[in-house]
Structures are given as structure tokens and as C-alpha cells.
Amino acid sequence: MKHVSSTQLKKGDIVRVEAGELIPTDGEIIEGLASIDESAITGESAPVIKEAGGDFSSVTGGTRVASDFIVMKVMTDPGESFLDRMISLVEGAKRQKTPNEIALATLLAVLTLIFLIVIITMVPMAGYLGIPLDLATLIALLVCLIPTTIGGLLSAIGIAGMDRVTQFNVLAMSGKAVEAAGDIDTLILDKTGTITYGNRMAAEFIPVKGVTAKEITFASLQASVKDETPEGRSVVELAEKLGESWAAAQYEDAEIVEFTAETRMSGMNLANGTSIRKGAVDAIKKYITAKGGRVPGDLEEIANRIAKAGGTPLAVALNDRIFGVIYLKDTVKPGLKERFDELRAMGIKTIMCTGDNPLTAATIALEAGVDDFIAEAKPEDKIAAIKKEQREGKLVAMTGDGTNDAPALAQADVGLAMNSGTMAAKEAANMIDLDSDPTKLLSVVAIGKQLLITRGALTTFSIANDIAKYFAIIPAMFIMAMPQLQAMNIMHLASPQSAILSALIFNAVIIPLLIPIAMKGVKYRAATADKLLARNVLLYGLGGVIVPFVGIKLIDMLLHGFHIV
Amino acid sequence: MKMTLTAIRVSVTLMLLCGLMYPLITTGLAQALFPKQANGSLIQSGDVVIGSELLAQSVTSPKLFHPRASAAKYDPTASAGSNRAVASDDYVKEIKEQIAELKKDNPTLKDIPSDLVTASGSGFDPDLSPEAAKAQILRISKTTGIAERQIEQLVDSLTQSRQLGIFGEPRVNVLALNMALLKQAKL
Amino acid sequence: MGMGFVQVTITLVIILALVKPVGSYLVKVFDYERTGLDRIFGPFERAVYRIMGVRDKEAMGWKQYLGAMLLSNFVMLILMYLVLRLQKYLPLNPDGIDNMPSAQAFNTAVSFITNTNWQSYSGENALSYLSQMLAVTFPMFTSAATGFAVAVAFIRGLIGHQDNLGNFYVDITRAIIRVFLPLSLIVALFLVFQGVPQTMQGAVEASTLEGAKQTITRGLVASLESIKHIGTNGGGWFGTNAAHPFENPTPLTNLVHIVCMMLLPTSLVYAFGLMIKNKKQGWAVFAAMGFIFLVMLATVFVAEYHGVTALTSAGVNGNMEGKEVRFGISESALFTAATTAATTGSVNNMLESLTPMGGFVALAEMMLNNVFGGKGVGLLNGLLYLILSIFICGLMVGRTPEFLGKKIEGKEVKLASIALLIHPVIILAPTALALFRPESIASISNSGMHGLSEVLYAFTSGAANNGSAFAGLNADTNFYNVGIGLVMLVGRYISIIAMLAIAGSLAAKRVVPVTTGTLRTNTPLFTGIFIMIIVVIGALTFFPALALGPIAEHLAMPH
């Protein structure tokens, strides 16, 4: 083993990182278990536990090993790590134009060309009629007409869109991914962690025969007072709601037994020798049997009943006696039903993926208001579901965290990987959620749509503006030679000079006014396409026609009022 | 090469089909069904062709009805409209002069028949509006001595109403009118 | 004016009533599945395929389809050019007409192969009967059929699942044999019945009432006249076109002409709806085109009835300059609106002598070039604007724009942009060039704003493949012959190439299913936006030129 510079590390190298050291680059832990401080990427100060094997083995360059050590295998070549890509994204160096952006840029370029030709050809036409046109006026007209407003803002809108995604703590690998999110037809969501609180919550304390409800409640409370997991906290909450309380002082010198994968239970040993445990039913059974205790006859039946309803039973034991079972239940996150309704209004279908049996899955699907569900889903079922939707021509988005999700993430048109997930999953996805909160996909969809709408709206506005500019400038250009064109001066602008100047000033003023809209994006509310179109056309199309008429007239009145022209 | 050959064969085949067979078949059928119209609706006096009932011919005599002005000088080998720009001062001036000319013959004329002071599109407009024909009655009556009422009756009898009662405008064929006039006056 | 309104209304109702049956028939014509029509036309078509060496089952991708179209059109162009250049030595020349000079022959051959029918010659003194048949009547069939074919091919691409646009040769053969030939024959016979000549005999010498000589020219007029309107061609046998009593002898023939030229362009829009299995979409496009048409028609109608203010006060009602008594003002206005909408280009009155706003209508409809438009290409132009509208509206609902489930992306917009750009370029640039050269200014007959309109009209007519003219312009100079010739070529083929490329690209795309998030393109709202986009893009492009020409002329009209 030797010290090397992080820049020399190549894919496949094995590195050992000690507590307090920075992890040199992206990789997978192949040995050891450590708490890692990922605040550099996520902003979350609490360290996360990562260990070899399983879904929590990936580490990111730039994060710090807070305790213990890890041996990791380097998974990226220099310059391609997550952090590198993030930096380049931020720098915009690798920002590729999205298909819609290219299409729009083409259209704007053509409009510019058309205007250029219109103005150049105007010279001989006017010349034939004996009207000299001066260059300054022609340039003023060109500047007013060409869609500079939107042209200049196009990139800004794209970058602002990505920035908005980033503000949600989601890292998009490309602007294309964000735009694609706006086109999504189908969302495939994991039930666990997305639709329901991944950590199940205590719903009921069920005593075995011979134990009172109060006893099991208190025993559950005791077993969980020092358990900081969400499940543990939900047990405490429920017990307190049921009227139990506990004195913190009593447990001060208690020895805490952490949950491990081997024991599959947790709890504490009090100073007075009492041992309290809660855990998987068979683990507790084994534990009690080893202690010489007796397994109550109705335990199995209660546990089965809970499992069948889609819940998780946790047995609670005090010393060598099993008191009963904590019923941990999946709970649909509040507000989700509304969000799914919104998605439906946008025309997006939601599919829930779950390992539950069909019965449970159906219950939760109904409760959450998703359109469809896949029960007892295996990873390959997810891919099959995505492919099926895609065969119908739909664009599919999904979230995932495990290595086994990687193929599905790659298959999906938009894959949102959880930062807590594996390297493979993150590689396969085109977006990474630093907070590991899968519901954010919904926000990303909205941002994607908002991005396109902003482009469309500003383009429409910009083109619609030209109508008024024509009515300001064309009569002004020719009115000296053709007095009859005064009839076209429908804004009744004071003089040719002030007409041209007003149009120019309006043009100069409107760009800065549009920048905030470009940056923030136009207001987006989930609605059907028809409603969105009606609203946006009215606002930016009709508005685009009217605003410059009013604006130019006002400027003209000001210019004239102050005798500037 | 095969593509080019196909293109040539297609072009030649269609040329013969549409450019030769079709017009020839049509001609055969037309000549069999409507020989008079197919040959140009000619008006003959014995062996002499006087003209076509569909084409106006030059008339200068004040004793006859004058057709509308012709930018083609009534020569069918060079059909033409006047192609004047009607919104120009020159044009307005000329038309006003013509109106004045017209009013010399008809001092009481109020509504000027617009076809009488304008050139036709083809140069051979065979028709006049009944009003335009009637505007000439005074002159013809003066020069020929035929009673105004008689000429007016002639115009009325030769006036064609709208086709099917709907399409086109009421009109009177100038050549037919002049021939009838000549017959009547035995000029 | 009241009776005029009735005439116009009845004509439009007749056209509307024919749209559905004819549209349905067109769908059958281009449907390769077996239909009842096969029994009538099948044997004849199979014989023609055998002579032409066409394998009718052979499918073509967009490139092959385009190749076949360009190649065959080129061969036809050469054949036509040769006929014009050699007519003196060829048969069927009873009036002894000389060979056509090269620049004019180029212009004429291009004009007819592109369905433009711009004429810098007068048929009665520049073409032999054989030339009228082989260099005029013949391409009237094939250019119309070509336009039809590419429109249908485009629609196939729109709804297809692979790059298979059909077979070009089969499409034009079917169009000619199942639509154009039978219809033309029937209409031609009706025209003869009404007075249109159809004879192989040369001109006849007449001795007029006053004893003067009048040479009455005639020929195989009816057979040309019928396909001229059915195929939205527009080129007349005689110089003054359908104003000439031999081309358009009665109000009834005038009605037949108008119905014929509007028949297929309007029906094709309905057929489009049928073919994409979205009748509502067809009607939406129809409504947009129909709306613009009605506004234009109303403008020219009112303008011509109003006439010149200064003359109205002198007692002259309406503008009859360049118009024929048998048609009057209303049917001249309707004919004008129809011929420039359907880009036929035939005229029953002299457009140059329209009032400024009447001339404006003719110019504007050709500048938009998609108010029903010529055979097939009009629909294509409409669909081009539809694609642009969908693109802009699609963005505004937050989805990558899609039409009939096919995504409109960079490639399609690029191609559509080319087609969009080319039209103003080939109108404005040559107009500017012409007004720069004293030699070409010398061709102008009316001075000032109207003179500007003359030149602008010539190139607009060429670019839109319309063929009508402000006939005062002497276009038989090398500059205009070659210039307008090139404009016609570019105007016709560049947009067809771009549109077929779009078809090829769309054909290969997978279809996205419709959801509530999908932009619906057949609603009244979208149709309204569609109209606005056509008008706004058209106005932004041509407003300055129109302002200097007809608009300024109108505003300066003598009072």
C-alpha cells in the first residue's frame, strides 16, 4: 500500500480511506463500514452510514469519512467523477443545446434572415418611388424587428431552468433531461419511500394473550425511547398519543443495543438488569427461546394477520417474555393524492411499483390515487413495464436507488436516481436527487414544462411585438414622400423622428423587463393543454400585440411632452 | 440509369395520352356534338364570314352601336386589356373626358354606364349592358332617323337576362344588335 | 350588389356541397387497397403501367419518391422545351407560327411544368396547336398530378410507421386517369356547348359589318380550358385568358371555371382529414383557409363595387375597367379571389386594372400561398404553417410539440424554415433587383406605386406558382423570362423537397399517444391561432412591400 495523489487514480484502483480523510474520487466500498459526511454535496450535515455490499456502498469523491475506514474501488477515471461533471455543468462548458432549443433557434434565425431581406429589398423599392431611405432608420427598423429579445434569452432560459432544478437539490445531467421531464407521459414510482414513508410507522400495539394493552404500549415505548430511526420515533409518538409517558432520567445509564443486520433487533439493557428488545418476529422468537422463554401461542397468528394486510409486525419482548406486536404500517404521504391529481390533469399517468402482494398494493394504490400498480414487482418487471409504455410511444420517467434499478433507470427516458443509491444507479440515471426524495420528480416535470412554456411564450411575445413596430416605423419612414401614409400612423405618433425613437426605446426597455420572466420562468399551473394554450396565448400572444402599441405611444407622449424630439 | 429510363417512358407515355389523345378525342366529340360552337360560333352571310357572335368587332360608324373600347383594337391575333391603373390621376382625367364626350350626345345622362367608358378585359367583349346600349340610342336615332322607341324596343328584345336567372349580368350582344339594326334600317 | 352577393353565395355553396363527395373520392383514388374503382380504371391503368415500365407494387421511401418526381419532371421539361423551340418544323401549325426564342421557351416550359402558367407570350400568336397540346395541355395534367402526389405522399408520411410514401408513378397515373382525364373531358364538352371552340382548323378571316378584316383565331381551346382550371394551372389559350369570350363565353362557363379551380384544392383539405383519420383536423385547416378566403373575397368585392372615388362622384358606379359585361363586378371579384387563392392564375378580368385594394387581395393571397392553394402544394404550404403553429403552441403548453402523435423537432423545424424562408426571398430579392436595373424598369407600363406593384406581382405570381399577372408589365425580356423562370423553379421544388424530407423524417417516428397534456390541433382555439400565425408571418414579411405598393396607392386614390 502506498500514498498516491488523487489525480493519479484510475478506474479499478483500490484505495483505503481513513477517518477524517477526503474520499479521492467516486467508487464503491468493497470492505468496511463507515459514517460518511456528505455535506459537501448534499448540504446535509448528519453523516450517513455506508458499507460494503448492498445498495449503500457508493461513495462520492469530495465527501469525508467521518468515522472508521473504508476500502474502496475507484469507479471513474480522472476528470469524470461526479464532482467534475457537476462543476462542468455549473460552468456550462458542456451545456448542449436541447432539441427544442435548436428548433427554436433555427426558427428565430430564419425570421431574422427574413427581416434582413425585407429591409434590404425595401431600399430599391423605395428608390424606385424616389424615396431615399437613410441607413440609420433602416438599422433602427432591423434592430426593432429581429427577434433579439428572445434570441438573447434562449440560453438564459435553459440555464435558468437547470438552475431551478438545482435549487430543488436535483442535479440534472443535461438540459435535455429537464426538457424531457416536461414531456413525460408515464411516471413509474416505487411505493416504498416515494408514495408511502419508506420507513413504516407504528399504527397499533397488539398484545398477546395475557398482556394488557397498557403493558404492550409501555413496553413498546421503552423499547423505542432511544431508537432514533423513523420507525422508533413513530412508536414513541403513538405511545405518547395513547397516554404513556416516560422519564428521560430513568434511561440515562441504560445500555443501548443498536440494530444490526445479524441480530435484526434493537433495544436496551437497563441498569437494573431489565432487557428490552423489539425486532423481527422470528428474531425475537429465537432470542426468547435462547433465553429459555416461551413463545406465546397467538404470536404467529397476529404476525400473519399484519403481514397479510401489508404491514410489518415487530415483536416486543421484556426480559424473557414476549408482550406483543407493534403493527408497522405503510402510510401514504400527505398531499400526494393531490399531486397525482395534478399529474393526471397534465396528462401524466402514474404507476406504482411495489413488492407487496396485489391486495396490499391495491389498497395503497387506491389510497394514494395512482392510476395503476405493479404488485410483487421484481426489478425486471420494472423494465418490462417501462418497455411496455415506451412501445406505446410514451416517455417514461422513474426513480430508483438500488443497483438493480440501474437497467430500468437507463431504459427510462428520465431516470431520477437517489443520491443515497448506488453508483450504478447514479450512472444510469440522468438526474440525481441529492436529498434522496423521489417525489421531487413531480417538481422536475413541472420545471421541464415551465421551461418550454417560457420559451414559447417569449417567442410569441417577441414576434407579436413586431406588428406594432411596423405601424410605428413604416409610416414614419415614408410619410415625408407619401403623406397619405399618415392613415397608417394609427398610434398618432407625434413625428417621424419620435416614432422611430419610441420604437427603439421600447425595444430597449422590453428586454430587461423580460429577463426576470426568462429567469423565473412563466407561471405554470397544472392544467390541460387547451387551458394552458388559451391562457398563454391570451397573455403572451395578444399581450405581445397590445403592449408595444401602448408602450410606444406612451414613450412617444413622453418624448413629445418633454420636447425631446 | 434504369430510373432515368423509367422517367423517360413515363413522360412520353403521359405526353401522348394527355397531350395528344385527350385533345383529339375531345375535338372529335365536340365536332360531332356541337359543330357550330366548336368552330368558333361563326356568323356567315352566304360564304362570307362576318364574324363570331362571341367576339366584338370594330365599329366606327355613328349609325351603329359601338362595342366597348378595345385595347386590342378588336384584333383577335393580339388580345389585350388596357392594363390601366385605375387609381391614377391620368386615368381619372381620361375617363372624365370620355364622360364629357358621352354627355355631348346625351346631355341628360346622369348615371354613366361604367362599361361604356372603360375598356374590356379581353378586348372583344361582345356585350354591352342594356344601359350602355341605350345611352347610344339618341345618337343612332339622330344619324339614322329611326325612331328612338323603335331602337329601344330592339335593344329590349335582344337583351339577354341573367343565365338561369342568377348568373352574370343582363347584356345585349352588339353584333346581333347591329345586324338587327341594319336589317331594320335596310342600310 | 345585392344580386352579386347572391351569385357569390350560390357559387360558394356549390363548392362547399362538392367538398365532401369529391374529398371522399380522392381518398379512394390514392388508397392502394382494392376499391370498386379498380373495375373501371384498373385494366386501363395496368396497360399504361406496362407501357411506362412501372412496377406498381414497388414502394418508395421519401428519397426515391422525390427522385422519381424530380427526374420525370425534368424529362418532361426538356420535351416541352424542345417542342416550343421546334414548333415551326412540327405538324399542327395551321397559322404558321415561328419557333419560340430560347429565353421565352425556358420560361414557358418551366412555367407549365411548375403548375405556374405564367405566360410572357400570347397563345394566339406565339404557339402552334401542337405546342398548345404538348407543351401546355400535357403539363397541365402532369404538374397538377405531381402536386397531388406529393401532398398525398406527405400525408402518408404523417400517418405512416415507416419511410414508405407510396409510388410516385402510380400516384400521378391514378390522379390523371381517375380524376383529371374523365373530369376534363366532361367539362370540356360542356364548355364547347357554351361556345368554347375545339377545332383543328386554323384562324378564319372575317369581313366585318363595316367591311374591315378580322382574323378570328381559334384552336383546341376547350380541352385546354377544362384541365386549366381542374388542375389549377391557369394558362390560357389566348393572351387575355378567361376574360376572352372564346375561353369563357357565358356566365355559366364562368361558374364552371370557378367551381373547377376551387373543387380539388378544397376537397383535398377534406381528404386530408379523412386520410389522417381525423376529420375534425381537416375541417380545422379548412376553416382557417376558408376564413382567410372570405375576408379576401369580401375585400376585393367591396373595393371593386366601390370603384374609384373620384369617378363615383362623376356618376360612374364601380370599376369596370378590364372587366367583361357578362361577368360584371361580383363574378370578376369572385374569380379574382378564387384564382389567386387556388393559385390557378387564370383571370376573367385584367388584374392590373383592379382597384388598389382589389390588387392587394390578389397579391396577398399569393404571398400567403396557402389559402387552399394550388393542387396539393397549397395544402402542403398550409401544413407547413400548421407545423410552425404547432411548434409555437406546443411549446406554450409545455411539451415537445407533436402533430398527429409525431414529435416536431429540430430537423422538421429546420426543413420547414427553409420552405418558409424561400418564399419571401424569391419574391423580394428579384423585385428589388428588377427595380435596381433601368432596363427592367423599362418594362413597367404604369408609373409610381402601381408600377412597383407590377414587378412585385410578377415575382409573387412566379413564386406562388400562380401565373396571373399585372399584364401591363412587358415580361418578354431576357431578364424577366429567366428571372421569373428561376423563381418558379425554386418556388415549386424547394418547398416540395423540404416537405417530402419532413414526411420522410416524420414517417420514421414513433407515435406518441394522446393524453390531456397533448395539444389538440383541431379546436376552434387552435384554428384561430393558426390563422393568426399565417396572417402575422405573412404581414411581417410582406407589409413593407405592400405598404409601398397597393396600400399607399389606395390611400392616395383620387377623390
Determine whether the interchain pair A533/C441 forms a contact, defined as Cβ–Cβ distance below 8 Å.
Answer: no
CA angle C158, C161, C165 (to 5 degrees): 60
Instruction: Identify the H or E element spanning C412.
Output: helix C410-434
What are the pLDDT digits (tens) for C207-226?
999 999 999 999 999 999 99
Average pLDDT over residues A130-155: 85
> In chain B, what percentage of residues exceed pLDDT 90?
87
- Whole-complex ipTM: 0.96
Of A106, A348, A455, the CB nearest to C413: A106
Is the pLDDT reported for residue C124 higher than 80?
yes
Q: Let me know if A190 is a catalytic residue.
A: yes
Neighbors of chain C with 3 or more C-beta pairs under 8 Å: A, B
Would you give the DSSP letter of residue A92?
A: T
CA distance C480 to C486: 10
Closest CA to A552 of A487, A494, A513: A494
User: What are the CA-CA distances from residue B187 to residues B48, B149, B163, C214 (Å)?
Assistant: 18, 18, 33, 21
What are the pLDDT digits (tens) for A360-394?
788 788 888 888 988 887 777 888 888 888 888 78
pLDDT band at C379 (very low <50, low <70, confident <90, very high): confident
Flag whether residue B47 sits within 8 Å of chain C, measured between CB atoms: no
Determine whether the interchain pair A470/C544 forms a contact, defined as Cβ–Cβ distance below 8 Å.
Answer: yes
| Chain A residues with beta carbon closer than 8 angstroms to that of C538 | none
Give the burial string for C94-133 (b: 16+ CB within 10 Å, else e).
ebebeebbebbbbbbbbbbbbbbbbbbbbbbbbbbbbbbb
Chain C residue with the nearest C-alpha to that of B130: C325
Which of the residues A190, A437, A466, A556 is marked catalytic?
A190
| Chain B residues with beta carbon closer than 8 angstroms to that of C47 | none
What are the pLDDT digits (tens) for C409-427?
889 999 999 999 999 999 9
State how far residue A523 is from chain C, nearest Cα, in angstroms. Answer: 11
CB C547, CB A488: distance < 8 Å: yes
Closest CA to A173 of A416, A345, A386, A4: A416
What are the pLDDT digits (tens) for C38-51?
888 999 999 999 99
Closest CA to C399 of C521, C525, C499: C521
More confident position, A229 or A120: A120
Angle between helices A440-478 and A529-536 (to 10 degrees): 30
pLDDT score for A91: 55
What are the pLDDT digits (tens) for A83-94?
776 666 555 534
- Residue C174, judged by CB atoms within 10 A of its CB (0-12, 13-18, 19+), counts as buried
pLDDT band at C399 (very low <50, low <70, confident <90, very high): confident
CA distance C150 to C153: 5
Q: Which of C387, C396, C460, C521 to mutate to test the interface with A (most CBs of A within 10 A)?
A: C396
Listed range (A381-395, A425-439, C181-195) with the worst mean pLDDT: A425-439
Is the pLDDT reported for residue C175 higher than 80?
yes
User: What are the CA-CA distances from residue A270 to residues A222, A226, A240, C523 (Å)?
Assistant: 10, 12, 21, 74
Instruction: Give the number of other Cβ atoms within 10 Å of residue C541's Cβ.
Output: 24
> In chain C, what percentage of residues exceed pLDDT 90?
85
Determine whether the interchain pair B125/C184 forms a contact, defined as Cβ–Cβ distance below 8 Å.
Answer: no
Flag whether residue A289 sits within 8 Å of chain C, measured between CB atoms: no
Is the pLDDT reported for residue A528 higher than 90?
no
Listed range (A83-92, A214-223, A261-270, C58-67) with the worst mean pLDDT: A83-92
| Chain A residues with beta carbon closer than 8 angstroms to that of C456 | 125
Average pLDDT over residues A337-358: 82
What are the pLDDT digits (tens) for A468-493?
999 999 999 898 888 888 999 999 99
C-alpha cell at A44: 446535509
Chain C residue with the nearest C-alpha to that of B38: C197
pLDDT score for C176: 96
What are the pLDDT digits (tens) for A283-299?
888 888 888 888 888 88
| Chain C residues with beta carbon closer than 8 angstroms to that of A123 | 432
| Chain C residues with beta carbon closer than 8 angstroms to that of A119 | 544
What are the pLDDT digits (tens) for A183-196?
888 988 877 667 77
Q: Which amino acid is at A442?
A: L
- Residue A297, judged by CB atoms within 10 A of its CB (0-12, 13-18, 19+), counts as exposed
Average pLDDT over residues C126-143: 96
CB C230, CB C110: distance < 8 Å: no
Chain A residue with the nearest C-alpha to that of C405: A393
Determine whether the interchain pair A347/C517 forms a contact, defined as Cβ–Cβ distance below 8 Å.
Answer: yes
Listed range (A45-54, A213-222, A310-319) with the worst mean pLDDT: A45-54
User: By three-state DSSP, how is residue A451 classified?
Assistant: helix
CA distance C385 to C389: 6
pLDDT score for A34: 83
Flag whether residue C6 sits within 8 Å of chain B, measured between CB atoms: yes
Flag whether residue B183 sits within 8 Å of chain C, measured between CB atoms: no
Average pLDDT over residues A442-455: 87
CA angle C21, C26, C30 (to 5 degrees): 150
pLDDT score for A96: 63
Listed range (B52-61, C181-190, C366-375, C537-546) with the worst mean pLDDT: C366-375
Is the pLDDT reported for residue A95 higher than 70?
no
Is the pLDDT reported for residue A165 higher than 90?
no
Instruction: Using the structure block, give the residue that is written with the C-alpha cell 425475537.
Output: A284
CA distance C114 to C108: 10
What are the pLDDT digits (tens) for C270-318?
999 999 999 999 999 999 999 999 999 999 999 999 999 999 988 898 9
Is the pLDDT reported for residue C101 higher than 90?
yes
Instruction: Locate the domains of chain B by residue range.
Output: 1-39, 41-185
pLDDT score for A94: 45
CA distance A184 to A177: 11
Listed range (A77-91, A264-278, A416-430, C64-78) with the worst mean pLDDT: A77-91
